[in-house]
Amino acid sequence: MGAIYGVAGTIAQAFAWGVLPVGLVIAVVGVTALLVGLRLMTGDRWVALACGLGAMIATIVFSGRGPGGSVVVPAPPEGELSTGVIWSFVLPVVIAVVVGWPSFAAARTTRTN
C-alpha cells in the first residue's frame, strides 16, 4: 500500500492550481493519513515503517530518469525549490514522526495500574 501511495504522491505532487501546490498538499495529507491509520489500527510501529519505506522506495524509483529517458519529477531550475524536492524531503519526515510518535496505549495502561 505504501508503494501505491508513493507512486500516486510522486505523480500528483506536481499539480498546482495557480500558485497553490494542491497536489503536494494532497500527497502529504494522503500519506500521513495512511501511516497514522495503520499505526492506530495495528498499534505497531513496524507496519507503519514498512508502509513508509514502500512509499519512499517508490518515490526514489519514480523520481529518477526512466529507461526511455522520461522523467516523472523534473529537476527545478538552478536555485529554485520545486514541489518534487519538497515531496522528497517531507515524506521521510512524515514517516519518522508517525513511526516515532509515542504509543498512547502504553501510557493508558501504565496510568491505570
The pLDDT tens digits for 69-89 are 777 777 777 777 788 888 999
Q: Does residue 2 contact residue 30 with C-beta atoms inside 8 Å?
A: no
> Structure pTM?
0.83
Residue type, 95: I
User: Within 10 Å of residue 65's Cβ, how many Cβ atoms?
Assistant: 9
The pLDDT assigned to 113 comes to 56
Q: What percent of the chain has pLDDT over 70?
A: 89
- Name the helix (H) or strand (E) containing 39: helix 22-42
**Distance in angstroms (rounded) separating the CA atoms of residues 83 and 87:** 6
> What mean pLDDT, rounded, does the chain reach?
86
